[in-house]
Structure 1
């Protein structure tokens, strides 16, 4: 029995060893088997454009503030009840148009009183003059002493002084009466009027209305010393650059049809920003610009020049700066570091880093990797725009 059991044990051990060996061989075979080879796909397709020289108008864009050339806060110069307002808010007004009337009766009465005082002074002067003439005759006949004549001459002089004072007071009363009619100082447009007829107004009652001349209008914008120096050297002048055109970009992104000119460059620089305030005058017949409005100001050079211009979509920026992807030999992608400048709308001027004839990637750059091949698909260059795409800056 013992031998039989030993035989069963040996058989079971042999069987287990055989099964274990088979499992080990199976695992080893699985480990050594290589996965099936993955088929390589075609290179990614990218849109490319050939670098070329184009004729452009150099321009720069700044942030500016619109300012009326003529602007006046209308105030009352005398105290009284506001009798009438002769315009509607927002109306266009002409020079010398009547804007407000202050109650005139008290001031008319004052004028009448001062006129009466002048008339009385004239009468007193006439009497004094007659007394002097009579006194001279009486002195010649020794009817009155010389001292009496001297008193009459002094009285005449006093009457003359009093009439002059009365006339001055009459003129002052007339001036005060004139202040009851408030008129426009120049052609412009009336703003909001916060006081209605019936209110008591005076020098301390605040602004009755603001009148603004809107055409032409002024645009002020700061320019860095570096940019100003570049423009001055290009124009060959130390003052306002001659021939430089100024255009205003409206809030909807469009440019005004009219162009302005630079008429003043400040003589001092801002110590905080190291910028100089530049002032331009722009036609505003359509009243698209409003006093105090923030706008983008586009300054264009007087002459066109040739430069390498690429689409904005080709430009990329990382921590090292601007670059583009170029399709080089064997259609492999290369990185080209570039320097850029202001360009037309949707485009960038390249001042350094590219050569005429190179192929730059304008579409599909997200699938392109440096050193890897791509399938270039030529694209037509977009039409050269006239609107600068330079990010607006405040100097």
Structure 2
């Protein structure tokens, strides 16, 4: 037993004295995934902060003084052009119209009698019973009644217009606001808006861009049809991309003196959401006054150096990547980026086509160390990325 215990103790001491590296052997260079820098087709875009604006916005105001008799719409619903919205008390205006029509009938009767008298006087003019003065008086009397008839007919038209004003109809299609006055109140032209209508489809989006950026866009698309080569896409406040595209239709003719910017306007559809009904709240994506991110996108892709966004790191000095040289050593390289998406980085300076950069396992890389590179499998898909645009106070970083 003593011999066996002695041998066991010797074995334990021998195992503890053996170095760890002797048991496992030395470690190799870290394995990393790499991609080759190359030019790829990307879509040029520039981003700005914009605001949605309705194409039409109308305040409904009473044009006569009367009691508000009926409200014929649901607050917040969508109305069509020509829909009857308010009805005012009609009785006094109908009575006034009938009185004016009666005055017209009376003057018409007097005019007919004056015409008969004139014709009789003219027929007797060449007889012993006729006198020139009688003809002149009859002619003047007829002209007087004719003038009175025109004035009376004008009064009828004015009364008819006032009667028509007792029905307030929608001048445009859109969503109507709440009513500011209840039925039974007396309304006048000075009562203020009874309600407002905001058009819904299409919408405008307005956004400012600096003069420098405007010149860059003009030069960039001059050989592609000018602004006709630009389409507008919107990013909603929740970060989702809006499914409709718009077109520029207006540029301010003057530069804002305090910001040195132009204001551009685009028209974009705003249809009902799938399954939504016209009267439902939130039935359309865009609302008047809403802030959105505006993307100006070229219709034709261009070739640019693009790498996966995961290959780019940043510190206080800016952005950099790790380039694998011919000796399989990782070298830090400073790069200048254009506007990038979460998946793609457009490289303006710092890299050349054909170089190899680390895109996977980058956390294991240090400047100057040897690495074990292997192509990423499958190769990462590089979608369209944003191209650079000149800095502007309204552009997003």
Partner of residue 295 from structure 1, selected from 292, 297, 301: 292
Q: Check 1:57–1:156 CA distance in 2 against 1; reply closer, same or farther (3 A cut).
A: same
1:337-360 CA distance string (max 9 Å, x none): 322212334432111111232324
- Say if 2:190 is the partner of 1:204: yes
Partner of residue 355 from structure 2, selected from 335, 357, 372: 357
Instruction: Look up the match of 2:334.
Output: 337
CA–CA separation in structure 2 for the residues paired with 1:300 and 1:115: 64
Do the aligned partners of 2:346 and 2:386 also contact (CA within 8 Å) in 1? no
Partner of residue 71 from structure 2, selected from 82, 85, 99: 85
Do the aligned partners of 1:345 and 1:389 also contact (CA within 8 Å) in 2? no
- Say if 2:49 is the partner of 1:60: no
CA–CA separation in structure 1 for the residues paired with 2:249 and 2:163: 41
Post-superposition shift, 1:57? 1.1
Q: Check 1:199–1:128 CA distance in 2 against 1; reply closer, same or farther (3 A cut).
A: same
Instruction: Look up the match of 2:35.
Output: 50
Instruction: Look up the match of 1:73.
Output: 59
Post-superposition shift, 1:198? 1.3
Post-superposition shift, 1:386? 4.6
Post-superposition shift, 1:158? 0.9
1:205-257 CA distance string (max 9 Å, x none): 11122222211211111122222222222222698512322111111111112
Partner of 1:242: helix, strand, or coil?
helix
Instruction: Look up the match of 2:3.
Output: none
CA–CA separation in structure 2 for the residues paired with 1:359 and 1:238: 34
**TM-score normalised per structure 1:** 0.78
Partner of 1:270: helix, strand, or coil?
coil
Where does structure 2 lack aligned partners over 5 or more consecutive residues? 1-20, 273-283
Where does structure 1 lack aligned partners over 5 or more consecutive residues? 1-38
Do the aligned partners of 2:210 and 2:393 also contact (CA within 8 Å) in 1? no
CA–CA separation in structure 1 for the residues paired with 2:388 and 2:343: 9
Pairing 1:127-146 to 2, within 5 Å after superposition: 127-143=113-129, 145-146=131-132
Post-superposition shift, 1:160? 0.7
Larger Rg: 1
Q: Check 1:346–1:270 CA distance in 2 against 1; reply closer, same or farther (3 A cut).
A: farther
Do the aligned partners of 2:115 and 2:142 also contact (CA within 8 Å) in 1? yes
Instruction: Look up the match of 2:136.
Output: 150
Instruction: Look up the match of 2:344.
Output: 347
Post-superposition shift, 1:333? 5.3
Partner of 1:176: helix, strand, or coil?
helix
Do the aligned partners of 1:239 and 1:265 also contact (CA within 8 Å) in 2? no
**TM-score normalised per structure 2:** 0.78
CA–CA separation in structure 1 for the residues paired with 2:28 and 2:67: 86
- Say if 2:305 is the partner of 1:308: yes
CA–CA separation in structure 2 for the residues paired with 1:244 and 1:168: 54
- Say if 2:240 is the partner of 1:243: no
CA–CA separation in structure 1 for the residues paired with 2:366 and 2:50: 42
CA–CA separation in structure 1 for the residues paired with 2:195 and 2:385: 38
Partner of 1:111: helix, strand, or coil?
helix
Pairing 1:1-395 to 2, within 5 Å after superposition: 49-53=34-38, 54-143=40-129, 145-236=131-222, 241-286=227-272, 287-317=284-314, 320-326=317-323, 328=325, 334-355=331-352, 356-360=354-358, 370=367, 373=369, 382-386=380-384, 388=386, 394-395=394-395
Q: Check 1:252–1:294 CA distance in 2 against 1; reply closer, same or farther (3 A cut).
A: same
Residue correspondences, number = 354
Q: Check 1:228–1:43 CA distance in 2 against 1; reply closer, same or farther (3 A cut).
A: farther
Do the aligned partners of 1:240 and 1:262 also contact (CA within 8 Å) in 2? no
Post-superposition shift, 1:104? 0.8
Instruction: Look up the match of 2:281.
Output: none
Task: Supply the RMSD in Å over aligned alpha carbons.
Answer: 3.2
